[in-house]
Structure 1
Amino acid sequence: MRVPEGVTAPPGCVCKLKKSLYGLKQASRQWFARLLEELQSQGFVQSKNDYSLFLKHENDDITIAAVYVDDIILTGSNEATIASLKQHLHSTFSIKDLGLLHFFLGIEISKTSEGYVLTQRKLTTELLDGCSLDITKPAITPFPLNFKLAADDSPAYHDPEFYRCYVGKLNFVTHTRPDLAFAVQSLSQFMHKPCVSHVQALTHTLRYLNHTTGQGILLKASPQLTLQAFSDSDWAACPTTRTSVTGYVLLLGNSPISWKSKKQSTISKSSSEAEYRAMAQAASEVTWMVRLLEELGVSSLKLVVLHCDNQSALHIAKNPIFHERTKHIEVDGHFTRDKVLTGLLQLSYLPTTQQLADIFTKILPSIQHKTLSSKLGMVHSLPSLRGGVGI
């Protein structure tokens, strides 16, 4: 860094910054520390489960501030507290109040008679408009049925940066598109060396995205909030490493609030073991989500029902005894069993045809894919106007 023009400093001396500057390594940390100080001065407490979340409880009222760098969402049951915080932040930082929330971090929020619809239409349109691939032909599923990707199964693609760029953008789209989660995690495995076949698979996914641009998730109002989880796995799904794929989704009421599709880190010796490991991943997410929702004032969530379609895995988790076929599983794999014993989880069997997490572990026939997407609360929405709150 050079001394600004007009400022003279004696030889051997440096200038001391009295405030952080944009572009420095410490700038973002210093900004967050400054914002934290101001929020705490107004009586807000930093969440222990999400450090970007701040809460203020006053009698029966609650005020919530969700922070992402210099963008803030404010909500709560006390309008006077929200107005007071806005005034304080404006006098300190000179904020811009964008009114009711309509647009935040690329996510468009639309209010309907049933609840709130979250979409990424604008981001999706911009992604597709700049694409040089032929995506005009519509596709009804993210991947073709029974499609498998493998490393080095075709010649290397001539422009790997193009592949990495678009797969990275698709990762952001999955924030409101759970139906894309499995396809995107499959494409993400070949970022280091994309081949022609991987780009062909990417083209198919973009054709599906182009055909379903306005889809998003519906956060539906419910008279009684309950938390339930669905976990599933596809045993030895990877043709190269023979590792399995974990998929889970958490529903608050009838609305999806957390989901994941991820390849397991170790090889499972049986389908039961793969399902057992998937249950452990879902149980970990449930544990964190229950603590976070309790901070937000949503109580009485226990027992959380965890649905699984494998009877053997359920038997292993429900019975805290030594099993010959599971003695090799690491301690962390028995996390589900521990949460069952402590009274957080209740395990439940359901048929594979009703398993919502099935869409996160494999490519399904078009009818089943559409059915599960609908059960996950996915809807088609109209374009929304830009809005939000920012500093």
Structure 2
Amino acid sequence: MEWNDLREIQIVKNLLNEKFNIKDIGNLKYFIGMEVPRSKEGISLCQRKYTLDLLEDTGLLAAKPATTPMDSAIKLHENSGPIHPNPTAYKRLLGMLIYLSHTRPAISYVVSHLSQFLSKPIIEYYNARLRILRYLKTAHGKGLFFSSKTNISLKGFSDSDWGACIDTRRSVTCYYFYIGESLILWKSKRQRTVSRSSKEAEYRVLALVGCEAQ
């Protein structure tokens, strides 16, 4: 079946309607906080309104923007300081940032890193989350773009931050996959075991990315 075969698409719609009683409301434009602008060049996916609402909710709409989502000079760990007085607000903000990372892969590393400390919400972690919001303020309409003219070629990139987790000494793995110029998959997570060198950490992530590519 060709992806643009309207007859086959209608057959699929009819089959789905028989099972689930669906309704065709046309091209998707907005869904659960995600905006889907379309053009001849391709389809965009962003969370502009969601980002602006989040900035307004946290009182950072007029705050000074940050050039990076995380301060590389700050090393967070379980004993970084006093506990945040409102753990609920702390966890709610993190949950919203996790959802926002669906269209903003640039924040996925720091959001994943901060997710490790949910059981002990320290004030410094909360401040790190606010920095992510100040970074998003620089381009709140940015997101993913899927070109209509992309070539069907798979490309993958990976990196490893050796011993990035101070508490466990485990390295952090990051990888990205593209089809042509369109980003389709990204992930950031701690490695399961402690690597004895940066080379070992890199080989581990290469093995993981190789399996993912297959």
Trace 1:354-365 onto structure 2 (pairs within 5 A).
none
1:266 Cα shift? 1.1
Q: Is the 8 A contact 2:171 2:201 kept in 1?
A: yes
RMSD: 2.1
Trace 1:177-196 onto structure 2 (pairs within 5 A).
177-196=104-123
Which of the residues 86, 89, 93 maps onto 2:13?
A: 86
Gaps of 5+ in 2: none
Change in Cα spacing, 1:133 to 1:152, as seen in structure 2 (3 Å) is farther
Partner residue, 1:266: 193
Q: Calculate the TM-score normalised by the size of structure 1.
A: 0.51
1:265 Cα shift? 1.8
Which of the residues 63, 71, 76 maps onto 1:136?
A: 63
1:87 Cα shift? 4.1
Which of the residues 71, 78, 90 maps onto 1:163?
A: 90
Partner residue, 2:26: 99
Change in Cα spacing, 1:88 to 1:225, as seen in structure 2 (3 Å) is closer
Q: 1 CA distance for matches of 2:4 and 2:47?
A: 28
Partner residue, 2:132: 205
Change in Cα spacing, 1:159 to 1:88, as seen in structure 2 (3 Å) is same
Q: Identity across aligned pairs (percent)?
A: 40
Q: Is the 8 A contact 1:135 1:207 kept in 2?
A: no
Change in Cα spacing, 1:151 to 1:171, as seen in structure 2 (3 Å) is same
Tell me, yes or no, if structure 1 residue 250 matches structure 2 residue 177: yes
Q: Which of the two has higher C-alpha Rg?
A: 1
Partner residue, 1:30: none
SS in 1 for 2:24: strand
Q: Which amino acid aligns with 1:110?
A: P
SS in 2 for 1:218: strand
1:264 Cα shift? 1.2
Change in Cα spacing, 1:222 to 1:133, as seen in structure 2 (3 Å) is closer
Superposed CA offset, 1:205-228 (max 9, x none): 111122321011221234631101
Trace 1:246-325 onto structure 2 (pairs within 5 A).
246-287=173-214
Tell me, yes or no, if structure 1 residue 109 matches structure 2 residue 109: no
Q: Is the 8 A contact 2:52 2:61 kept in 1?
A: no
Q: Is the 8 A contact 2:30 2:36 kept in 1?
A: yes
Q: Is the 8 A contact 1:229 1:251 kept in 2?
A: yes
1:77 Cα shift? 2.7
Partner residue, 1:241: 168
Partner residue, 1:150: 77
Q: Is the 8 A contact 1:115 1:220 kept in 2?
A: yes
Which of the residues 127, 136, 154 maps onto 1:227?
A: 154
Partner residue, 2:99: 172
Q: Calculate the TM-score normalised by the size of structure 2.
A: 0.90
Which of the residues 124, 131, 144 maps onto 1:217?
A: 144
Q: Which amino acid aligns with 1:267?
A: V
Q: Which amino acid aligns with 2:96?
A: K
Q: 2 CA distance for matches of 1:228 and 1:279?
A: 13
Q: 1 CA distance for matches of 2:151 and 2:172?
A: 33
